[in-house]
Chains A and B, each alone.
Chain A
Amino acid sequence: MKLEKLVVQNIGIYRDKRTFDLSGELTVFYGPNFSGKSTLVKAIYFALAGKVLSTGLKPPALASANTPSGTVGLFYQHQQKNFRIYRSTKADLQIDQAAGEQWVRCAAGDAAVLPALNPQQWRTGCFLHEDELGEFLVQQPATRRELLNQLLGVESLLKAQEIFIQVRRLAKRREKTALGLQESLRLDGMADRSVELQTLKTAVAKSAARLQALHETPSDNMPDERLRQAWEQAKTAAQTRLAQWQQQLDAARAGFNTREELAGLLEQCTQQLAQRDHAKRELEACTDLRITLTSQLRQIEDTLAAMQGLQGREACPTCQQSLSSDLIAKLVSDYEARRETILRERESVEAKEREARETLQMLDDLSRKQSELERRLQQWQQIEMELTAAQTEMETWETKLAALAPLSPADESREKLQQELDAQRRRLAELEREQMLYEQRRQAILSANRQAETVIKHRLLSEWAADAVARTVQAVVGISLKQAEAEITTCLQSFGLFRSQPQKIDLEQSQLLPDIDGRALQTLSGSEKTILYLSMKIALSRLMPGADFLVLDDPTLHLDATRREKLRDYLLGSTPAKQIVIFTNDQDFAGLFASAKRFDL
């Protein structure tokens, strides 16, 4: 990357827009104090890194006083292409690429647009600002170590190394746990009883078969036993029947305490049902009477209608006899009175008829209930008889069994065999339990062994990986530092810093504070420190691809005339590989660069 042009507006003392041409290998800015040299150095850094070169300041601090925002524009070449970057102190950013006479907007963060250097790499690789040496010397070793890693671009590699080391520790912990478990799992006197178990199973099977054979084989020596078994079976059957009949009896007597209660209720039913014929006859009589009354009523009404038809006539229309109106009126009155009497009588008869019908209905229901009660009574009687029979039978068997003789010697032998078999079975159960526990423990040990093998392999794998990462770190850092250390040695040699033979500079070991001739950096003179730091800076910048320029702000502090000339020679020797931009208030030093482009501020 090479710088082409710097544009500032509202930055520091540069309120109006100012443009500075930076193209070429060497540019020198000369100006007294407060002429804005450091402002331009900070502007270039701000354009590239988006941060302020001075520690602890934010970008708005770069803006001119009483202005809302300042802007820096930097034109540059990168990978044979022209770009410009505009950045404001309000964090606005725009990067364009030249396309003929046009500028095309580019995406920030693309390494093809801007070298992918972090702010620290820009700062260390491309800028030497005022007070930088002082700040560097007071840094803690860990900070300088971090700085070195940042400059070498191996932060991610070192972070990865840390994780791999943690993984190795994790694998070791897991291995320790697994081996501890493996160690703790022992058989503790448990033995494999499978052979003994099998032998005992065979013995049990044989004993059981022998006992079964003894039971099944007919023997004249054991008649009582066979008889006992037969009687026992008969007694059991009688007991079963007894229980069944008892259940049926319970069902039959539902609602009654005794059979006499049921019989009494049945008697009452019979007595009531004796009235059924009478009720039936009464119903029939009522029905007949109602029919008769209805017929009479119809005749009276016919006659009454005929009489009413004769009223108002002087003679009968049939026989032509003269009619007495008084007589006709009396007859009508009589018939009407009679009709009323019959109507009342018929209503009375109808009421009696309804009552008789209801009574008959009730008696019919009672008759059905009587039939049910009779059936239950018969069932009850039958069950009681069966119960008595079963009870008697059972008592009979009990009596017979009690009368049988005690066990014979053959029975005693069988009993002994049975006892032996029971003992064998108990022992078998015990052995099976022991064998089960043994198997469980054995499986646990096998599992722990497998687990231990796995974790040992995992531990070895993690060690292998961690070793490889460590070797990678060593190689990458070593190669990079070796180049830088050689560069620094050459630089120091050219400055004549070594009093005797040139010595090897070890940046890693010294954590960026190398000794010169056995003297610690802190004990060197001001000029020696400046030269060493400058050479270290230039050397490290070579490790960063893209850091192809060096901006120096007052680099001659502490240097005498001879050293200034050496510095000039060294810087000129760095071109054209490095583009050099110098800001100085040292007129003599500025005058040493006769061929350089010069700005007097």
Chain B
Amino acid sequence: MNNQDLIARFREKLRAAGKEGKYARKFMPEDEERVCKAFALALENASLSETLLFELLTGEKT
């Protein structure tokens, strides 16, 4: 399973989780897009720091 397959599967899981419980109606499509981009980057770069990933995830500088 290559990275593209993993990202597609991750997006699927993200959407499914986004419809459930505490996550329901809390996020916008742009949030999903940002999270998927962060996931793709984390897959490609194992040494990514959590601070940088947090910034990518939230779109805000820490």
Are B27 and A170 touching (Cβ within 8 A)? Answer: no
Q: Is A81 an interface residue (CB 8 A)?
A: no
Query: Taking the nearest CB of chain A, how far is it from the CB of B37, in angstroms?
Result: 11
Are A156 and B3 touching (Cβ within 8 A)? Answer: yes
Are B9 and A476 touching (Cβ within 8 A)? Answer: yes
User: A156-B3, A163-B53, A164-B42 are contacts. A464–B17 as well, Cβ < 8 Å?
Assistant: yes
Q: Is B22 an interface residue (CB 8 A)?
A: yes
User: A159-B42, A465-B39 are contacts. A472–B54 as well, Cβ < 8 Å?
Assistant: no
Inter-chain CA distance A346–B2, complex, in Å, is 129
| Complex interface bits, A146-164 against B, C-beta within 8 A gives 1, otherwise 0 | 0000000110110110011
Stretch at the interface among A12-20, A310-318, A454-462, A576-584: A454-462
Are A163 and B42 touching (Cβ within 8 A)? Answer: yes
Q: Is A471 an interface residue (CB 8 A)?
A: yes
Inter-chain CA distance A552–B57, complex, in Å, is 48
Inter-chain CA distance A166–B48, complex, in Å, is 11
Interface residues of A in 165-208 (CB under 8 A from B): 166-167, 169-171, 174
User: A156-B3, A160-B39, A461-B35 are contacts. A468–B13 as well, Cβ < 8 Å?
Assistant: yes
Nearest opposing residue in chain B for A111, CB measure: B2
A170 surroundings in chain B (CB, below 8 A): 50-51, 54
User: A160-B39, A464-B23 are contacts. A167–B57 as well, Cβ < 8 Å?
Assistant: yes
Are B57 and A472 touching (Cβ within 8 A)? Answer: no
Are B17 and A167 touching (Cβ within 8 A)? Answer: no
Inter-chain CA distance A164–B13, complex, in Å, is 15
Query: Taking the nearest CB of chain B, how far is it from the CB of A425, in angstroms?
Result: 47
User: A156-B43, A164-B42, A469-B39 are contacts. A475–B54 as well, Cβ < 8 Å?
Assistant: no
Are B42 and A472 touching (Cβ within 8 A)? Answer: no
A464 surroundings in chain B (CB, below 8 A): 14, 17-18, 23, 26-27, 35
| Complex interface bits, B15-30 against A, C-beta within 8 A gives 1, otherwise 0 | 0111000110011000
Are A465 and B48 touching (Cβ within 8 A)? Answer: no
Inter-chain CA distance A465–B32, complex, in Å, is 9
Nearest opposing residue in chain B for A543, CB measure: B1
Are A465 and B50 touching (Cβ within 8 A)? Answer: no
Query: Taking the nearest CB of chain A, how far is it from the CB of B52, in angstroms?
Result: 9
Inter-chain CA distance A170–B56, complex, in Å, is 13
Query: Taking the nearest CB of chain A, how far is it from the CB of B23, in angstroms?
Result: 5
User: A464-B27, A472-B6, A472-B10 are contacts. A160–B43 as well, Cβ < 8 Å?
Assistant: yes
Are A467 and B57 touching (Cβ within 8 A)? Answer: no
Interchain CB contact (< 8 A) of B27 among A154, A461, A480: A461
Nearest opposing residue in chain A for B10, CB measure: A472
Grouping DSSP codes into helix (H, G, I), strand (E, B) and loop, the B interface class, with mixed when no group exceeds half, is helix
Query: Taking the nearest CB of chain B, how far is it from the CB of A19, in angstroms?
Result: 36
Query: Taking the nearest CB of chain A, how far is it from the CB of B53, in angstroms?
Result: 5
User: A472-B9, A476-B9 are contacts. A465–B35 as well, Cβ < 8 Å?
Assistant: yes
Are A471 and B13 touching (Cβ within 8 A)? Answer: yes
Are B43 and A468 touching (Cβ within 8 A)? Answer: no
Are B6 and A476 touching (Cβ within 8 A)? Answer: yes
Inter-chain CA distance A163–B46, complex, in Å, is 8
Inter-chain CA distance A476–B7, complex, in Å, is 11
Are A163 and B27 touching (Cβ within 8 A)? Answer: no
Are B9 and A465 touching (Cβ within 8 A)? Answer: no
Inter-chain CA distance A160–B27, complex, in Å, is 22
A171 surroundings in chain B (CB, below 8 A): 54
Are A471 and B54 touching (Cβ within 8 A)? Answer: no
User: A472-B6, A476-B6 are contacts. A160–B14 as well, Cβ < 8 Å?
Assistant: no
Interchain CB contact (< 8 A) of A465 among B3, B14, B44, B60: B14
Query: Taking the nearest CB of chain B, how far is it from the CB of A173, in angstroms?
Result: 10
Inter-chain CA distance A457–B54, complex, in Å, is 12
Interchain CB contact (< 8 A) of B23 among A174, A460, A475: A460
In the complex, which of the residues A154, A170, A463, A480 has the most CB atoms of chain B within 10 Å of its own CB atom? Answer: A170
| Complex interface bits, A122-151 against B, C-beta within 8 A gives 1, otherwise 0 | 000000000000000000000000000000
Query: Taking the nearest CB of chain A, how far is it from the CB of B17, in angstroms?
Result: 5
Interface residues of A in 456-496 (CB under 8 A from B): 457-458, 460-465, 467-469, 471-472, 475-476, 480
Are A476 and B1 touching (Cβ within 8 A)? Answer: yes
Are B23 and A159 touching (Cβ within 8 A)? Answer: no
B1 surroundings in chain A (CB, below 8 A): 153-154, 476, 480
Nearest opposing residue in chain B for A459, CB measure: B58
Are A160 and B42 touching (Cβ within 8 A)? Answer: yes
Query: Taking the nearest CB of chain A, how far is it from the CB of B13, in angstroms?
Result: 4
Inter-chain CA distance A517–B13, complex, in Å, is 36
Q: Is B31 an interface residue (CB 8 A)?
A: yes
Are A472 and B13 touching (Cβ within 8 A)? Answer: yes
Inter-chain CA distance A415–B53, complex, in Å, is 72
B46 surroundings in chain A (CB, below 8 A): 156, 159-160
Inter-chain CA distance A464–B38, complex, in Å, is 13
Inter-chain CA distance A465–B18, complex, in Å, is 9
Inter-chain CA distance A166–B62, complex, in Å, is 15
Inter-chain CA distance A164–B43, complex, in Å, is 11
Inter-chain CA distance A461–B35, complex, in Å, is 8
Query: Taking the nearest CB of chain B, how far is it from the CB of A150, in angstroms?
Result: 13
Inter-chain CA distance A164–B58, complex, in Å, is 12
Interchain CB contact (< 8 A) of B17 among A458, A471, A475: A471
Closest 3 CB pairs of A and B: A160-B42, A166-B50, A468-B14
Known contacts A464-B27, A475-B13; can you find 10 more A-B pairs with CB under 8 A? A156-B44, A163-B48, A167-B53, A167-B57, A461-B58, A462-B57, A464-B17, A468-B10, A472-B6, A480-B1
Selected A-B contacts with CB under 8 Å, 14 pairs: A156-B43, A159-B42, A160-B46, A167-B57, A174-B62, A460-B23, A461-B58, A464-B18, A464-B26, A464-B27, A464-B35, A465-B35, A465-B57, A468-B35
Binding site for B on A (CB under 8 A): 153-154, 156-157, 159-160, 163-164, 166-167, 169-171, 174, 454, 457-458, 460-465, 467-469, 471-472, 475-476, 480
